[in-house]
């Protein structure tokens, strides 16, 4: 199979998987994953708050799915085209393990240079240190730039063009070739893209409707109670209703 045909296949997998995930996302799930204090501090309007919240969450979903369904699969495809035998028996943070020119190689694939927190990067360094000293350990970021220096002498990092040139066997323009193919194939997936955009609009509308029903605008107190309180609510609506019920009870009790 040629590279273009393979990218067509993995793009279909990506769009299908992304759409399935977006269909399963609810406004309540988005609220549980965001920092309500940052949202409150940067809010200039209900519309901006909703757009930022939905946009941020969907961007993270798109990034994760693209890494799993496209980047990782293309890298494995290119390595196999070079007749490298991939071994699935590897440490936790390693996505690909193979032998190249008698040199064992462990490759950990990341979408971009800003992946993970300190703990996750520490775990990766620990996993890489488990390999023998003759193993070449690589963290490969599929886009961006960064430092190749690590704390482990056998561990290096490759970014963007460097990574794609390496996995393709020295084709320096591979990173450009891949994006050209994606752009060329994109019209074939127009119906998927429309459905994805439609789902984004639905989430925004659902969130706007929920916020605008509150007489005080964005219900910040209820959002932080739902997000961080010890009492767990099934939904933000349940949290808001609880507030209304308490208010009614207090009014009746005062009479």
Nearest to 73 by CA among 95, 54, 52, 89: 95
The residue written with tokens 């979903």 in the block is 61
The matching CATH number, chosen from 3.40.50.460, 3.20.20.70, 3.65.10.10, 3.40.1560.10, for 83-167 is: 3.40.1560.10
**Model-wide pTM > 0.75:** yes
pLDDT digit string, tens, across residues 14-61: 999 999 988 998 888 888 888 889 888 887 777 888 888 888 888 888
Distance of alpha carbon 205 from alpha carbon 8, whole angstroms: 32
Task: Please identify every stretch of the chain with a pLDDT value under 70, giving residue numbers as ranges.
Answer: 88-93, 149-153, 212-217, 243-255
- Position 207 scores a pLDDT of 82
Tokens representing 146 are 């960064």
Cα Rg of the chain (Å, integer)? 23
- Position 8 scores a pLDDT of 97
Q: Can you tell me whether residue 29 is helix, strand or coil?
A: helix
What share of residues in the chain are helix, strand, coil (percent, to 5)? 60, 10, 30
Tokens representing 85 are 């035998």
Distance of alpha carbon 84 from alpha carbon 95, whole angstroms: 14
Where do the DSSP E strands lie in the chain? 96-100, 103-110, 136-141, 155-159
């Amino acid at each position: 199979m040629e590279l273009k045909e393979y990218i067509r296949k993995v793009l279909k997998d990506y769009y299908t998987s992304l759409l399935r995930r977006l269909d399963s996302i609810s406004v309540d799930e988005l609220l549980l994953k965001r920092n309500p204090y940052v949202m409150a501090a940067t809010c200039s309007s209900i519309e901006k708050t909703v757009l930022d919240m939905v946009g941020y969450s969907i961007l993270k979903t798109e990034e994760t799915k693209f890494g799993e369904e496209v980047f990782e699969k293309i890298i494995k495809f290119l390595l196999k085209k070079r007749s490298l035998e991939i071994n699935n028996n590897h440490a936790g943070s390693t996505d690909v393990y193979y032998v190249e020119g008698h040199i064992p190689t462990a490759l950990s694939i990341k979408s971009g240079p800003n992946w993970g927190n300190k703990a996750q990067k520490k775990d990766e360094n620990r996993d890489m240190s488990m390999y023998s000293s003759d193993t070449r350990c690589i963290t490969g970021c599929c886009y961006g730039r960064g430092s190749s220096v690590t704390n482990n002498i056998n561990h290096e990092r490759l970014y963007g063009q460097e990574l794609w040139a390496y996995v393709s066997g020295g084709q320096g323009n591979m990173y450009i070739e891949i994006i050209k193919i994606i752009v060329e194939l994109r019209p074939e997936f127009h119906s998927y893209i429309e459905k994805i955009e439609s789902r984004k609009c639905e989430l925004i509308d659902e969130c706007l409707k929920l916020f605008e029903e509150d007489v005080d605008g964005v219900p910040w107190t209820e959002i932080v109670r739902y997000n961080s309180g010890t009492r767990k609510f099934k939904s933000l609506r349940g949290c808001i209703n609880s507030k209304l019920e308490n208010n009614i009870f207090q009014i009746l009790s005062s009479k």
